[in-house]
Chain A
Amino acid sequence: MSSEVATREVVKSKPKQESKLLKQIAKNKLLYLMIAPGLIYLFIYKYVPMYGLIISFQDYKPYLGISGSEWVGFEHFRRLFSSPDFWMILKNTLILFGLQLFIFFPIPIVIALMLNEVRRNYYKRAIQTLIYLPHFMSWVVVVSISYVLLTLDGGIINGVLEFFGFQPINFLLDSTWFRPMYILQIIWREAGWGTIIFLAAIASVDPQLYEAAKMDGANRFRQIWHITLPAIKSVIVILLILKIGDVLELGFEHVYLLMNSTNRHVAEIFDTYVYVAGLRQGQFSYATAVGFFKGFVGLALVVFANWLAKKNGEEGVY
């Protein structure tokens, strides 16, 4: 108590808040204990490693360490922005992101709405389970399956095309097929899994609303449009913001597996570039600079999306 009084005398407003905070913590110490593991995890695995970002401003040599390596300022960023690869990578990243946002994102919502209209419960359950399953397959498996189906050397799909007298299509080596293949594989693997949250949100809608709407003569589509969609709107917005936060997490593994010499100019994204430059070629500082830049773009987009959501009267993530 006495120290509290003493500090209060020195500065007026701030310590008051501080002591209030301390008091609150003391009062809810169990709650704080509960979030402690999460906070510790965040601190150790998300904040401490940020220390390593320093090397993006150095000419980092592992044997000299962070303290011994030479400082080069923004040299690596200059190299990145002046590299002819930079615009290609940025463009590829944004295009794949656009595909995820505009093509993939709405699909789980549509599926969830459709599942919600299925009358027979066992049928609905069965469909749900079936479309969840691909989520548990690793990308290696998904890409291998498509490889076997699509290859020119005895792939089934080209076999069928040829049987009906069409020219075989070189799916794997024609760069124009990279993006469709990418997004279709994502839809196949993730769309079912993505419906879970939307289905939960739909389940919480008050049935009386539907009954009232029916009394007013609303058909199925009207019910979806005026009741279901508005009810899950906030969930959609939050998931959208989170999705944008992952803007540059386009799935390193997935893209890396699909990438080859002929489609590199449309497939190279920041993640794959960082991997090749950093881990395969040992350019640690440069790779860190690229990764840093990527994180920065992601942050800017989340802030922007959140601002947009709030401006339109939605809740946002913070």
Chain B
Amino acid sequence: MKLKKMLVVLFSMVLMLVVVACSNDEGGSTDKKDGATDKAEEKAKPKISIMTKLHTAEVPDDKLKKLLEEKANVELDIEWVPDNNYSDKLNTAFATGTFPQAVTMGADQVIQFKEAIRDGQFWEIGPYFDEFKNLAKLNETVVKNTMVDGKVYSLYQGRPFSRQGLIYRKDWADKLGLEAPKTVDEFYEMARAFSEDDPDGNGKNDTIGLTDRSDLVFGVFKTIASWHGTPNNWGEKDGELLPEFMFPEYKESMNFVKKLRDNKFMNQDFPVTSKEDQQAMFKNGTAGMYVGAMVDVLGMYNDAMELNPDLEYDVHNYVAGPSGEFTVWSNPGYNNEIVFPKSAIKTEEELKDVLAFFDLMMTPEFSNLVQWGVEGEHYTVENGFAVVGDDQDTIEREVFAYNMLGIGEPATNGRYESQHNYEPRQKVEELILENDKHLIHDPTITLDSDTYVKDGARLQEIINDATYNYMLGEIDEAGFDAEVEKWKAQGGSKIIEEFNASR
């Protein structure tokens, strides 16, 4: 009998544990309820929830968040989602109706949500620009690029049109008597010399020219392709818009990379190399050339200097293609947009609270805060420029992630342009301006294709696989053409048709 009683007690305890565990799962929603009651008590403080991308390994320090809350008189709930999983998270949150009030989306991700945008799942914010004088300052041309059916649904985060270029080992180039490459042939020659002519002078054949990673866009390929004159995603041939991979320049670029790899002038496993590994090779003296966002030179130099204090980097942008002309691909003037789901913002009043917060982000005070941090602590102002402090680790932990809250660009939000003590980094600012004169734009940004919205991402995978396989020598030109035909047959032809029809 005693045993029976004990059993009853034991199992009711187990059951209770189960119940408690279940209710714990809903911890998030109870939090929200608490927030709601708070809000009822002191109406002055709106609560703003944001989901955005995280580009650092760790969740950022909440120092800036507290400052923002205090200055803007709001309560912030920021969900940081690692950039790698951002697409998954967007789809999951959308499917389960758990979007926060403001959601960051990459330009490519917005396309996936076009159908939902048209269906009225997100607030059209264009009409409110009259009320918020700072938001009204956003660059009209760029805003136009973000429009869906001529309506504004998002706030954009401005970026320079093109930050692409080459970062290379200046000390190696000097030792071998090489200049910065002005043509793709000189670029190839530099990769060869860095591989074969022992640039580090240790007598061993242990260096390569170029490093790349498993990313055809922000890795090496797209930039090299645009040097060769390949269109930016889509281009015009005989009056018709066609995807970039149907142009001979695309194949030329694949051959260029293939030749680099076949001759072992770049890392052999680049289709499976991570960004960390790619940068590590460039920092530890294995490789001497890095193609990508030139601004990365600062971060990489800070790390590399610790391994080798004598190392010198330089940046360079002007690499002319076979035609003798220098061209580089451009983004639409922004890389991310912030959208406002109706599932989270129920009333116009709430929307205005959220927009008011982002309106503040367009003021010099706030745009500097989220971009550079606290003046005197993370940066100083000299001659009207922000001079970023030397403690990169702290800045990365406390400031860097909050860049994702800023909208607009210095010309519209009054943010300081930056000035850097590290000379190559300062040079990047000039090169970005020079790139502006040689841009290749994507002609489809304001065009429409339902098939592209629905199947574009899946179809692009066919081309990405084919591009890698060609560069690795797994398939030949006929094999690549067959994959392009496959792309056409599975919906590509329709995309071509629809884009051309919507012009």
Contacts and interface: CB of A to CB of B under 8 A. Distances in A.
Interface of A: 30, 33-34, 36-37, 40-41, 61-63, 147, 151-154, 170, 172-173, 175, 260-262, 264, 276-284
The 8 closest A-B pairs by CB, nearest first: A152-B268, A261-B468, A279-B88, A261-B465, A62-B95, A282-B91, A153-B267, A63-B121
Contacts of B8: 30, 33
Contacts of B112: 281-282
Contacts of B18: 37, 40-41
Contacts of B271: 173, 260-262
A173 B91 contact: no
A30 B116 CA distance: 52
Interface in B443-499: 457-458, 461, 464-465, 467-469, 472, 474
Interface residues of B, number: 41
Most chain B CB inside 10 Å of its own CB: which residue of A147, A151, A175, A261: A261
Interface of B: 4, 7-8, 11, 14-15, 18, 87-88, 91-92, 94-97, 112, 115-116, 119, 121, 208, 214, 267-269, 271-273, 281, 286, 343, 457-458, 461, 464-465, 467-469, 472, 474
Given A170-B268, A260-B214, A262-B271, A282 B7 contact: no
B343 A152 contact: no
Nearest to B3: A30
- The secondary structure that dominates the B interface is helix
A41 to B, nearest CB: 8
Given A63-B121, A152-B268, A262-B469, A277 B95 contact: no
B465 A153 contact: no
Given A173-B472, A279-B87, 18 more contacts: A34-B11, A36-B11, A36-B15, A62-B94, A62-B95, A63-B116, A151-B268, A152-B267, A153-B269, A170-B268, A172-B272, A173-B269, A260-B468, A261-B465, A262-B474, A264-B465, A281-B457, A282-B112
A63 B281 CA distance: 46
A172 B11 contact: no
Contacts of B286: 153-154
Given A37-B14, A152-B268, A279-B88, A261 B95 contact: no
A262 B272 CA distance: 10
Contacts of B469: 261-262
A37 B269 contact: no
A25 to B, nearest CB: 15
Contact of A277 (B281, B458, B468): B458
A280 B91 CA distance: 7
A280 B88 contact: yes
A154 B208 CA distance: 11
A175 B121 CA distance: 43
B222 to A, nearest CB: 15
B176 to A, nearest CB: 22
Nearest to A287: B91
Contacts of A282: 91, 94-95, 112
B416 to A, nearest CB: 38
A296 B323 CA distance: 58
A262 B457 contact: no
Given A153-B281, A173-B269, A279 B458 contact: no
A262 B91 CA distance: 27
Given A30-B7, A63-B121, A63-B343, A153 B268 contact: yes
Given A173-B472, A262-B271, A62 B465 contact: no
Contacts of B94: 62, 282
Contact of B458 (A33, A63, A173, A281): A281
A147 B88 CA distance: 25
Contact of B269 (A30, A152, A284): A152
Nearest to B458: A281
B262 to A, nearest CB: 12
Nearest to A148: B277
Contacts of B467: 261
